[in-house]
Structures are given as C-alpha cells and as structure tokens.
C-alpha cells in the first residue's frame, strides 16, 4: 500500500471522520490562515490518483469520498513497518516493544488471552 504524506494523512482523517466531502467543506475544518482552495484540491486529486479517494460529479464540482478505510490503511502501514524494520516478524516487533517497555508483561498477557479467545470462536 502506498504511503501518505503528513498533509495527505491529515486530509484523509477528515474523510475517515466525516465521509464524503466537497473541497469547500474541507476548508471549514482549518483555522486561519486557511490553506488555499487550489492547494487542497491538488492534494485531494493526488489522493484520488493514489487510490485513496474517489469522486462523484455534481455539475462542475466534485464530492470526494474515501475508498480505503482508516483500518485498511493502518493495517497496511503496520505490515510495512513490520516488513521493513522487523524482517517480516511480528514476534520481533512485539519483542522490541516488550524490551523497550512500550508494552508491559500484563498487557502482553492480556493480548495473548484476547488472541486465544478469538481463535477459539
């Protein structure tokens, strides 16, 4: 899955939170100084080219909607990190989190219990 820039991810969060939007609606989410309409339009069209958004035409304006969910994107991003930095090993990733105390042993036990319960169903 393609990566998003910080600006692209910020825009995608609006779509994930709100659903279909017109560019003018997106402008309302920003504080002053607001980005220029053409700047937002360019980024949104780039997101469409990357396959994250699609649009419906209403006269001479477009309403954009997400075609990749936030969950799909985050899972793809996690798979990319695991692949790139942990040699495709989720075990190495979790071990690193435990070693660096980003996850406690109690949390790890709860995760194992959750996985075991899910697998029994």
Question: What is d(CA 48, CA 19) in angstroms, rounded to the nearest whole number?
Answer: 15
Element (H, E) at 64: strand 61-66
Q: Tens digits of per-residue pLDDT, 14-28? A: 999 999 999 999 999
The ranges of the chain with pLDDT < 50 are none
Please report the pLDDT score of residue 42 as a whole number.
Answer: 97
Q: What is the pLDDT of residue 94?
A: 83
Query: What global pTM score does this model have?
Result: 0.74
With b for 16 or more beta-carbon neighbours within 10 A and e for fewer, the 85-117 pattern comes to: eeeeeeeebbeeeeeeeebeeeeeeeeeeeeee
* Per-residue pLDDT, 120: 80
For 53, other C-beta atoms within 10 Å of its C-beta total 23
Token pair in block for residue 114: 């959750």
């Amino acid at each position: 899955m393609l990566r998003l820039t910080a600006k692209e991810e910020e825009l995608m969060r609006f779509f994930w939170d709100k659903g279909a939007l017109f560019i003018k609606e997106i402008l309302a989410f920003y504080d002053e100084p607001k980005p220029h309409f053409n700047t937002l339009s360019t980024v949104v069209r780039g997101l469409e080219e990357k396959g994250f958004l699609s649009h419906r035409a209403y006269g001479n304006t477009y309403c954009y909607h997400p075609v990749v969910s936030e969950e799909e994107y985050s899972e793809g991003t996690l798979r990319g990190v695991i692949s790139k930095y942990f040699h495709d090993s989720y075990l190495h990733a979790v071990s690193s989190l435990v070693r660096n105390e980003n996850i406690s042993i109690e949390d790890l036990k709860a995760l194992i219990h959750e996985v075991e319960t899910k697998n029994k169903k």
